Amino acid sequence: MDAAASLFAELVAHGVREVVLSPGSRSQALALAAVHASEQGALRVHVRIDERVAGFTALGLSRESGVPAAVVCTSGTAAANLLPAAMEAFHAGVPLLLLTADRPPELRGVGANQATVQPGMFAAWAREQIDAPVPGEGPADGGWEGLGARAVTAAMGGHAAHGLPGVAGPVHLNLPSREPLSGTHPSVALVPGEAPRPPVAEALELAQGPRTVVIAGADAGPDAEELAHAASWPLLAEIVSGARFGRRLVHGYRTLLDDPELGGRVERAVVLGHPTLSRQVARLLARPDIEVIAVRRGGDALDLNGRTTSVGAVRVAEGPADREWLGAWLTASASQVVDLSEAAPDQDGLVSADPAARRDAVAAELAAVRRPLDRELLVDAVWRATWPHDRLVFGSSRIVRVADAVLPGKKVPVHANRGLAGIDGTVATATGIALASQAGGAPGITRVLLGDLTLLHDVGSLLLPPDEDEPRLQVIVGNDGGGTIFDALEVATTAERADLDRAFYTPHTVRLEQLASAYGWEYLRVTTRAALDQALTAPAGGRQLIEVPLTR
């Protein structure tokens, strides 16, 4: 209990404000220390019964705040369930603290109950891993003293663990203890402090020189737009980048990269974030004749062409911009803008004395109101309803690629788990983002836009404790009854339809209304653009599950 209380006091002193807890026996001292700190107002505790959900909730909290959240679990398979979130955190460069309780050394490898090989289980993805001593047996009986500061510093990228100085990621503290596993809570002072910031990377200075494009992948953020603006370079921004805005933004970048007069003439690409949504960008970055400068964020250095330069930051040298190059892209971009808005009402027709003209005008208005939703209208409605005080989370579903193809520029905070582009943990991540962004009474709604299989894969995240703050969260599900993202893969043209259905599309008949009711969510089913607009913009608090049926 002394060791656990001191560890959390140290975490609080180094900026940790959020803890996600899954209940268990071996972790009881850690759980009680966390709850005690929350009762003192030093941090918030979020309880989740499923460790995978807990891991991704902590990931979402860390994504939004930029400060590592801690996730606490017991020993055995509980710890293994944190692996997906740890892998995503590593590849996306998100700070995260994994606090796994464990058996003492004498109970490892002897068949003891709920004991497995936990030290090193996250080795390939952890910025640092520490198998702590049993409290009372450490150096000078210091227990777990110093581990909190060390873990936060490593998670924020504050030293060169894994050879990645300045790159954030997960840290694993394996914390063994012996029975008795809990007792009276000690009196430990809790003094909130700030998380340490890693040194600012030295920026590589780039001359205007070669014909350059700025590519903004997932988590690039506003830095990509600022660079493109300062250098007058075309900005090719994925919808998940958080950089799809500004005067240098290029619409329809996929099509234009296929144009030999534009994509074919690129000499240099400056990459921020992790681009994953288009084969055109991947082909460009794999070209051996292209100079690629990639600003490092995640665990893997981008190097698709075998000669990419990885840097911590970039800046532009003073010099004349290539206005002809930028102008060619922006001229072509104007022809690629997708307008999904309805035509303006025929005011003259609606008040015309001619019955036929009036009838046609009314029929046109009714058709607009009753227009069924497709994927393009769905993403457009959600994008238009979202503003800078909101948060938008995309699942790794077919819908995100549609959004990337058709949505215009807008400066809104966007998140997506594109480090590994998995579908797991999407709702849990969005819940963590909502809780972090709405802390202290901040306004806004978090919307997560995803497909039906992505929702069902993470359905346990719909379970939230009744005694915790309820986030303002809209989960918008494009339900086409299966995994139609596989339509774009080779298997769709090579496999028999029955095999496609069974092994890939995995059709289902889940009734989302009953699912929402079971978990205590408000449920809405909308089939028209007008109804969806109303659902998205009506004043709402708490949790809503909005189902949008889509055709296969």
What distance, in Å, lies between the first and last C-alpha atoms of the chain?
56
pLDDT at 160: 55
- The sign of the CA dihedral 333, 336, 341, 344 is positive
- Beta pairing partners, 61: none
Mind giving me the DSSP string for 70-132? EEEE-STHHHHTTHHHHHHHHHHT--EEEEEEE--GGGSSS--TT----TTTTTTT-SEEEEP
- pLDDT surpasses 80 at 343: no
Residue 450 parent element (H or E): strand 446-451
Averaged pLDDT, 281-309 = 95
- pLDDT surpasses 90 at 359: no
Residue 15 carries which side chain, given as an amino acid letter?
G
pLDDT at 351: 77
Give the C-alpha separation, 33 to 11, whole Å.
11
Burial grade of 289 (CB within 10 A; 0-12, 13-18, 19 or more): exposed
- Residue 161 — very low, low, confident or very high, per pLDDT cuts 50/70/90? low
Give the C-alpha separation, 357 to 346, whole Å.
10
Return the residue matching tokens 């694993």: 172
- pLDDT surpasses 80 at 313: yes
- Specify the DSSP class assigned to residue 504: I
Task: Determine contact, residues 147/128, Cβ cutoff 8 Å.
Answer: no
- pLDDT surpasses 70 at 163: no
Q: What is the pLDDT of residues 247-292, one digit of tens each?
A: 999 999 999 999 999 999 999 999 999 999 999 999 999 999 999 9
- Residue 196 — very low, low, confident or very high, per pLDDT cuts 50/70/90? confident
pLDDT at 304: 95
Give the C-alpha separation, 216 to 242, whole Å.
8
Burial grade of 10 (CB within 10 A; 0-12, 13-18, 19 or more): buried
Contacts (Cβ under 8 Å, ≥6 apart) of 369: 528, 530
Give the C-alpha separation, 397 to 277, whole Å.
11
Averaged pLDDT, 369-394 = 93
Options 3.40.50.150, 3.40.50.300, 1.10.340.70, 3.40.50.970; CATH of 2-176: 3.40.50.970
Averaged pLDDT, 329-354 = 84
Q: What is the pLDDT of residues 5-50, one digit of tens each?
A: 999 999 999 999 999 999 999 999 999 999 999 999 999 999 999 9
Q: Quick count: other Cβ atoms within 10 Å of Cβ 182?
A: 17
**552 vs 281, residue with greater confidence:** 281
pLDDT at 345: 73
pLDDT at 95: 96
Give the C-alpha separation, 42 to 405, whole Å.
44
- Residue 162 — very low, low, confident or very high, per pLDDT cuts 50/70/90? low
- pLDDT surpasses 80 at 459: yes
Quote the distance between the C-alpha of residue 4 and its chain's center: 30
Give the C-alpha separation, 486 to 495, whole Å.
11
Q: Quick count: other Cβ atoms within 10 Å of Cβ 88?
A: 27
Q: What is the pLDDT of residues 316-339, one digit of tens each?
A: 999 899 999 999 999 999 999 988
- Residue 139 — very low, low, confident or very high, per pLDDT cuts 50/70/90? low
**289 vs 495, residue with greater confidence:** 289
Mind giving me the DSSP string for 346-372? -HHHHT-S-HHHHHHHHHHHHHHHTPB
CATH topology for 203-334?
A: Rossmann fold (3.40.50)
pLDDT at 141: 56
Give the C-alpha separation, 47 to 57, whole Å.
10
- pLDDT surpasses 90 at 94: yes
Tokens of 476: 């918008």
Angle between helices 375-385 and 529-537 (to 10 degrees): 30
- How far, in Å, are 382, 466, 513, 528, 545 from residue 542 at the CA level? 18, 12, 17, 23, 10
Strands 543-549 and 473-479: parallel
Task: Determine contact, residues 78/121, Cβ cutoff 8 Å.
Answer: no
CATH topology for 375-549?
A: Rossmann fold (3.40.50)
**503 vs 432, residue with greater confidence:** 432
Give the C-alpha separation, 427 to 57, whole Å.
8
- pLDDT surpasses 70 at 138: no
Q: Same CATH topology for 2-176 and 203-334?
A: yes
- 59-73, 395-409, 475-489: range with lowest mean pLDDT: 475-489
Q: What is the pLDDT of residues 515-542, one digit of tens each?
A: 999 999 999 999 999 999 999 998 777 9
- 79-93, 217-231, 480-494: range with lowest mean pLDDT: 480-494
- Beta pairing partners, 524: 546
Domain boundaries, the chain: 2-176, 203-334, 340-364, 375-549
Task: Determine contact, residues 453/482, Cβ cutoff 8 Å.
Answer: yes
Give the C-alpha separation, 429 to 55, whole Å.
9
pLDDT at 201: 80
- How far, in Å, are 383, 477, 527, 533 from residue 377 at the CA level? 10, 13, 11, 10
pLDDT at 273: 96
